């Protein structure tokens, strides 16, 4: 397939690996903060192509994993209301909350529907005027504009039964918080599809304030190795900066139209991240003028007391201070078929990726 | 969640398009983009075209690795010069 096959070329991959080996002199640790990168790095076995002095870590890039159990618990509580239809991307259905999951509620008769796009969620609302249709908005700057578009459409149509329950988050505060906390890092493999929307400016503080390199990477083996090469070069020449490897998709200014849509609908608010706690201005809430579509403001529901799974060290893993293999529950009893924590359920979770690609 | 794939635009009807992902044809909203034309490649994410894919930049990225070899050689040379 175009734009995929050529970026998997075995020949280029092995030559890039040689070049990295050639220029990399000192031990380094690079972190990726995008679930898509976590998956790709494991799937293509990127660590096995690198010299021993280069260590790759996974950070807080799995949106489902960094969100609180409270998010699932509240979605479960909404789903139990008679007049509510929950619409969501498939990723969330199997995530365990404190005592239940959406999957479980669906089996018990709740109306929980998987949608492919926020436009499908709007359709469900149009077709069911006597029900309240809640879309579970999760994800970073890549997915937030698609929720924003749904809100603008609902507003234009005066669709009174469509609601967004937002757990949308923004990436830079988490990247900065990790460095602040003293996680041992020498550079970031920055998220490609978040940056396609935001542009490269959002990472400016990482080299300027923290002195770390930052390369925005694509998702194919050639992309990832080239990004690692660029990070090693920055490190070895002591010239940290923001560079774009994923030039075919990411520009310095990003998708300005999508940014405007996001800005129109959302405002920044403090938000809680698993492993990092509450981070200032790290989440997206609906602006006051779109309040009537805000599930949290408009729909009251009682939520059970949140309990985090016992023994699960997802929080430490999301910070890159522990690896999935450090968890006593990894593999047995915790596996994709019988997940204990969110990091094992979501395709983008580190535990899932480690388990699936057998590290 | 941020998973996105390249897709080729084959039909445009207002703000919606039909796009090909390999052999599969799906709908995509063009609401986030201006000036999309039939034949363009876009990055498809949950039913939305997020960004156009630049053929020129893709070719440049693939060519870059040749350049890296050049840079390596140059660095080598500089190091040797320093030692000499
Ligand atoms: S292996 Fe399971 S229990 Fe352990 S950190 Fe990962 S998700 Fe949590």
- Give the DSSP per-residue string, B66-77: HHHHHHHHHHHH
Site to substitute for ligand 1 among A335, A341, A345, A350, most atoms within 8 A of C-beta: A341
Domain annotation for chain B: domains and CATH numbers: 5-83 (2.30.30.140)
Average pLDDT, chain A: 93
Site to substitute for ligand 1 among A322, A326, A327, most atoms within 8 A of C-beta: A327
Residue bearing the bigger pLDDT, A2 or B15: B15
pLDDT at B77 over 70: yes
A229 to chain B, closest Cα gap in Å: 9
Q: Which atom of ligand 1 is nearest to the CA of A330?
A: 1
Report yes or no: A337 at the B interface, CB cutoff 8 Å: no
∠ Cα A259 A262 A267 (to 5°): 120
Region A144-167: mean pLDDT is 97
Residue A149 pLDDT grade (very low, low, confident, very high; cuts 50, 70, 90): very high
Spatial separation of the C-alpha atoms in residues A171 and A175, rounded to whole Å = 7
Q: What is the pLDDT of residue A342?
A: 87
Cα-flanking dihedrals φ and ψ of residue A25, to 5°?
Answer: -105, -40
Beta bridge partners of A50: none
Grouping H, G, I as helix, E, B as strand and the rest as coil, residue A205 is: helix
pLDDT at A321 over 70: yes
Q: Which residues line ligand 1 (CB under 6 A)?
A: A 312-314, 317, 324, 327, 329-330, 334, 340-341, 343-344, 351
**pTM score, two decimals?**
0.91
pLDDT per position as a tens digit, A194-223: 999 999 999 999 999 999 999 999 999 999
Report yes or no: B63 at the A interface, CB cutoff 8 Å: no
Residue bearing the bigger pLDDT, A267 or A22: A267
Q: What is the pLDDT of residue A148?
A: 98
Name the DSSP letter for residue A109.
T
Report yes or no: A220 at the B interface, CB cutoff 8 Å: no
Residue B2 pLDDT grade (very low, low, confident, very high; cuts 50, 70, 90): low
Region A308-314: mean pLDDT is 89
Domain annotation for chain A: domains and CATH numbers: 5-61+174-244 (3.40.50.11750)
- The answer to whether B43 contacts A226, with C-beta atoms less than 8 Å apart, is no
Q: What is the pLDDT of residue A338?
A: 87
pLDDT per position as a tens digit, A239-258: 999 999 999 999 999 999 99
Q: Where are the alpha helices (DSSP H) in A110-240?
A: 118-127, 144-157, 172-180, 192-198, 205-208, 221-236
The share of chain B scoring above pLDDT 90, in percent, equals 49
pLDDT at A35 over 90: no
Spatial separation of the C-alpha atoms in residues A265 and A344, rounded to whole Å = 32
Are the CB atoms for B10 and B20 separated by under 8 Å? yes
Q: Going by DSSP bridges, is the β-strand pair B16-21/B24-29 parallel, antiparallel, or unpaired?
A: antiparallel
pLDDT at B72 over 70: no
DSSP secondary structure of A51-87:
-TTEEEEE-S--HHHHS-HHHHHHHHHHHTSTTEEEE
pLDDT at A1 over 60: yes
Region A327-331: mean pLDDT is 94
Q: What is the pLDDT of residue A7?
A: 84
């Amino acid at each position: 397939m175009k734009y995929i096959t050529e970026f998997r070329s075995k020949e280029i991959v092995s030559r890039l690996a040689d070049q990295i080996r050639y220029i990399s002199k000192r031990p380094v640790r690079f972190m990726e903060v995008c679930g898509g990168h976590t998956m790709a790095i494991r799937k293509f076995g990127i660590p096995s192509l690198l010299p021993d002095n280069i260590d790759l870590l996974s950070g807080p890039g799995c949106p489902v994993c960094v969100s609180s159990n409270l998010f699932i618990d509240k979605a479960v509580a909404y789903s139990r209301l008679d007049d509510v239809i929950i619409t969501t991307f498939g990723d969330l259905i199997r995530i365990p909350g404190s005592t239940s999951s959406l999957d479980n509620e669906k089996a018990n008769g709740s109306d929980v529907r998987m949608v492919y796009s926020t436009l499908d969620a709007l359709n469900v609302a149009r077709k069911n005027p006597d029900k309240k249709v809640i879309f579970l908005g999760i994800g970073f700057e890549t997915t937030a504009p698609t929720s924003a578009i749904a809100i603008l459409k609902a507003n234009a149509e005066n669709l009174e039964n469509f609601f967004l329950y937002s757990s949308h988050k923004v990436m830079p505060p988490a990247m900065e918080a990790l460095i602040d906390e003293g996680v041992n890092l020498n550079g970031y493999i920055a998220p490609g599809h978040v940056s396609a929307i935001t542009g490269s400016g959002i990472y400016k503080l990482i080299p300027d304030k923290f002195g770390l390199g930052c390369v925005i990477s694509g998702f194919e083996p050639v992309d990832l190795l080239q990004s690692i090469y660029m990070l090693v070069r920055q490190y070895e020449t002591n010239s940290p900066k923001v560079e774009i490897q994923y030039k075919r998709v990411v520009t310095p200014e990003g998708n300005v139209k999508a940014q405007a849509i996001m800005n129109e609908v959302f405002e920044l608010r403090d938000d809680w991240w698993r492993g990092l706690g509450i981070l200032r201005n790290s989440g997206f809430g609906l602006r006051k003028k779109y309040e009537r579509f805000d599930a949290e403001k408009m729909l009251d529901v009682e939520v059970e007391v949140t309990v985090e799974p016992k023994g699960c060290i997802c929080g430490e893993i999301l910070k890159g201070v522990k690896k999935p293999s450090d968890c006593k529950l990894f593999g047995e009893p915790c596996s994709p078929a019988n997940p204990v924590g969110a990091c094992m359920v979501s395709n983008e979770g580190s535990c899932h990726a480690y388990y699936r690609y057998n590290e | 969640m941020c998973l996105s794939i390249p897709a080729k635009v084959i039909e445009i009807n207002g703000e919606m398009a039909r796009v090909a992902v390999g052999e599969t044809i799906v709908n995509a909203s063009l609401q986030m983009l201006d000036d999309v034309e039939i034949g363009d490649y876009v990055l498809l994410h949950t039913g939305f075209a997020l960004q156009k894919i630049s053929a020129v930049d893709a070719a440049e990225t693939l060519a870059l690795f040749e350049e890296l070899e050049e840079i390596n050689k140059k660095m080598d040379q500089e190091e040797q010069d320093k030692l000499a």
